[in-house]
Structure 1
Amino acid sequence: MIDRRRFLHSASTCLAWFGMQSMASATDAAYPSRPVRWIVPYTAGGATDVLSRLICQRLSDRLGQTFIVENKPGAGSNIGTQAVINSPPDGYTLLLTSTANAINASFDPTLPYDFEAGIAPVAGLARIPLVLVVNNELPVRNVADFIAYAKANPGKLSIASSGIGTSLHLSGELFKTMAHIQFVHVPYRGSAPGLADVMAGQIQGMFDNVTSSFELVRSGKLRALGVTTRERSETLPDVPAIADTLVGFETSSFYGVGAPRGTPKDVIDLLNKEINAAFGDPLIKQRFAELGAIPITGSASAFGGMLATETGRWRKVVELSGQKKE
């Protein structure tokens, strides 16, 4: 009887040990061992969605698990961002980071989270120039004309944006401040309705991402006066930089990838490596070029440095413009 009890005890101990080892093996399985959520804090269909789906398809093919784009729009990207910050730091929930995160750090004093403390940088994706477009009937042909017209017609210009606190809105406010002019800001729920009203002549102009406006410019439905980056955009090579006229003016939209702070370094390094490698894919190169997107390559720490620089840059814009969320 004693031997039998000893045998049963030894057997149960061994089974428990093997069970623990199996659980450990499952836990330590190579990343990713299940689908990964890629949170886009904007509605589907825009540049952020297109860029995300391109990269997610590449990651799915390379890493053998599905990377699922999940749109969580609202509150100027804050809903999606907070959802990722509150997720387990295991690499299975990622965030499409953007200019909005850099802006909100100083523009929105009511933020319920600390972006810098809550998100670990993974990799850059793209930088997209903005362009100042106007209605074809507006009697201006370039940035100098626009500034002169605004000064000669105070209060007669209305400029659209995709919403208060966006890079489009604050680029306009920076332009207004640096050029010493006045115009009425009209916020919309996205670029499309704003651009439609500019084409219809209800609004005179708009700062917009090159991605969503270049076809309208090429087809002659809108007139482009200048791009917001120091260099001309390859998508609109005939359009000069605003800085050629308004020295020192520079803004753009950028996008990247972040993960909850505390995500293992080896997971971040793997994702960074694969995302950087994706830019060598001819299809992705072509689609980025078609969207007017300039790839951002480099290490996770380099992207972290860029985030810090952009946050500081937009803080200065917010302070200079005097704009804050109320």
Structure 2
Amino acid sequence: MYRKFAAILAAACVGIFTSTAALAEYPDRDIRVIVPWGAGGGTDAIVRKLTTIAEKDIGGSMYVENIDGGISATGISQLMQARPDGYTIGALTYDSVVTIPWQGMLPTYKMDKLKLIARVTSEPDAIIVDATSPYKTIGDLVADAKANPGKVKIGIQNIGSRLHLAILQLQDETGVEFKIIAYPGGAAPQKEAILSNEVDVVATSLGDFAPLLENGDVRGIVEFTDTTNPTFTTVPTAKEEGLKLRIGSFIVIAAPAGTPDDVVQKIENAYKKALESDEFQQWTAKVGVTPSWLGSDQVTQWADETSKTLFQQMDTLVEEGVLKK
């Protein structure tokens, strides 16, 4: 009996040692970071910058992989199906948390298949025009759209996405009708569209268009927030323009559900340190990105409450005939 107990105790000690040793070795190979949008957009730039800095602290190599499609569903579905070992993580955006679940696009897409690690940014949406545009204000745009129903072309990213919802709400609030044109794949196709005059305006975040804004190639005419952008201070807020619409995106770092807590903690610590670093803070100050940290102890509740509120808003718009599900 004593020998049996001793054997069980020895096995338990070996198990504890092995688990501790495995954790101490994490990571012992490359960590894949899924960005569910095309290269060149705002989400891609932010995640790449933050990951490059986090890599220095986590003790292993990290690489970003763009997996575009399905309003982010393609990439996030891969994240959901990945082994929960800390070697595949990903970036969720508004559409990943709100649009896809609300529309029920994929029966297998369930948020409980993910462990949310941290929210790292929070970005209001904006209306952006070419530098040569006659629209100096959102009032100019609305006036022209009223005079020419269905003629003013506005570029969004995906039909059914957050930006689509934003423009539908803007139309409803101002009593106008735009010609909405979708450019799937993030902000990069929108940039080409506005610079080539395929569209009159685009809806996206100021951060997505930061280089073009800095170069003077485009101008922001409104940002759907109450607070002036600390980088692009000349862009009026919706509050200043007398608009009720407030909408925007965010980036959340996540892992497959079941990823060990200690591994999640190590990833969270690395990204938090990266976000608070002078390098990232100085970079965000130049590109119009707003760092906004919520750790693993808060981010899941925040995401649940945010999606619930937005689901109710969108259901109301469906009932009013403004939006189709």
Shorter-normalised TM range: 0.7 to 0.9
Partners of 2:11 and 2:304 in 1: how far apart? 46
- Structure 2 residue 276 is the aligned partner of structure 1 residue 284: no
Instruction: Give 1:298 deviation, angstroms.
Output: 3.0
Q: Secondary structure at the match of 1:236?
A: coil
Instruction: Report the counterpart of residue 174 of structure 2 in structure 1.
Output: 179
Q: Does the Cα contact within 8 Å between 1:108 and 1:324 map onto a contact in 2? A: no
**In the alignment, which of 32, 35, 40 is matched to residue 35 of structure 2?**
40
Over the aligned positions, Cα root-mean-square deviation in angstroms equals 2.9
Instruction: Report the counterpart of residue 9 of structure 1 in structure 2.
Output: none
- Structure 2 residue 26 is the aligned partner of structure 1 residue 30: no
The Cα offsets for residues 113-143 of structure 1, whole Å up to 9 and x where unpaired, read as: 3432111110111122322012455543212
- Structure 2 residue 265 is the aligned partner of structure 1 residue 269: yes
Q: Secondary structure at the match of 1:155?
A: coil
Partners of 2:74 and 2:110 in 1: how far apart? 12
Specify whether residues 87 and 136 from structure 1 end up closer, same or farther in structure 2 by C-alpha distance, changes over 3 A only: closer
- Structure 2 residue 156 is the aligned partner of structure 1 residue 161: yes
Larger Rg: 1
Instruction: Report the counterpart of residue 3 of structure 1 in structure 2.
Output: none
Instruction: Report the counterpart of residue 7 of structure 1 in structure 2.
Output: none
Instruction: Report the counterpart of residue 75 of structure 1 in structure 2.
Output: 70
Q: Secondary structure at the match of 1:304?
A: helix
- Structure 2 residue 119 is the aligned partner of structure 1 residue 124: yes
Instruction: Report the counterpart of residue 254 of structure 1 in structure 2.
Output: 250
Instruction: Report the counterpart of residue 241 of structure 1 in structure 2.
Output: 237
Specify whether residues 279 and 23 from structure 1 end up closer, same or farther in structure 2 by C-alpha distance, changes over 3 A only: same
Q: Secondary structure at the match of 2:294?
A: coil
Partners of 1:90 and 1:289 in 2: how far apart? 34
Q: Which amino acid aligns with 1:77?
A: S
Instruction: Give 1:317 deviation, angstroms.
Output: 4.9
Bigger mean CA deviation after superposition, 203-212 or 22-31: 22-31
Partners of 2:85 and 2:236 in 1: how far apart? 45
Instruction: Report the counterpart of residue 83 of structure 2 in structure 1.
Output: 88
Q: Secondary structure at the match of 1:296?
A: strand
Q: Which amino acid aligns with 1:119?
A: L
Specify whether residues 200 and 313 from structure 1 end up closer, same or farther in structure 2 by C-alpha distance, changes over 3 A only: farther
Q: Which amino acid aligns with 1:203?
A: V
Q: Does the Cα contact within 8 Å between 1:276 and 1:298 map onto a contact in 2? A: no
Instruction: Give 1:238 deviation, angstroms.
Output: 0.8
Q: Does the Cα contact within 8 Å between 1:133 and 1:225 map onto a contact in 2? A: yes
What TM-score comes out, normalization by structure 1 length?
0.84
Instruction: Report the counterpart of residue 212 of structure 2 in structure 1.
Output: 216
**In the alignment, which of 125, 132, 143 is matched to residue 138 of structure 2?**
143
Q: Which amino acid aligns with 1:34?
A: D
The Cα offsets for residues 271-305 of structure 1, whole Å up to 9 and x where unpaired, read as: 22332222221111122222321112232131112
Instruction: Give 1:158 deviation, angstroms.
Output: 1.2
Q: Secondary structure at the match of 2:298?
A: helix
Q: Secondary structure at the match of 1:226?
A: strand
Structure 1 gaps, min length 5: 1-13
Specify whether residues 172 and 274 from structure 1 end up closer, same or farther in structure 2 by C-alpha distance, changes over 3 A only: same
Bigger mean CA deviation after superposition, 297-306 or 99-108: 99-108
**In the alignment, which of 277, 289, 303 is matched to residue 307 of structure 1?**
303
Q: Which amino acid aligns with 1:69?
A: V
Q: Does the Cα contact within 8 Å between 1:43 and 1:72 map onto a contact in 2? A: yes
Structure 2 gaps, min length 5: 1-6
Partners of 1:202 and 1:43 in 2: how far apart? 20
The Cα offsets for residues 156-184 of structure 1, whole Å up to 9 and x where unpaired, read as: 21111122233322221221122221111
Q: Secondary structure at the match of 1:315?
A: helix
**Size of the alignment, in residue pairs?**
313
Partners of 2:136 and 2:298 in 1: how far apart? 39
Partners of 2:153 and 2:323 in 1: how far apart? 17
**Identical columns (%):** 24
Partners of 1:270 and 1:234 in 2: how far apart? 31
Q: Secondary structure at the match of 1:297?
A: strand
Specify whether residues 48 and 198 from structure 1 end up closer, same or farther in structure 2 by C-alpha distance, changes over 3 A only: closer
Instruction: Give 1:210 deviation, angstroms.
Output: 1.0
Q: Which amino acid aligns with 2:28?
A: R
Partners of 1:38 and 1:197 in 2: how far apart? 29
Instruction: Give 1:22 deviation, angstroms.
Output: 6.8
Partners of 2:52 and 2:209 in 1: how far apart? 26
What TM-score comes out, normalization by structure 2 length?
0.84
Q: Does the Cα contact within 8 Å between 1:179 and 1:246 map onto a contact in 2? A: no
Partners of 2:295 and 2:190 in 1: how far apart? 37
Instruction: Report the counterpart of residue 98 of structure 2 in structure 1.
Output: 103
Q: Secondary structure at the match of 1:38?
A: strand
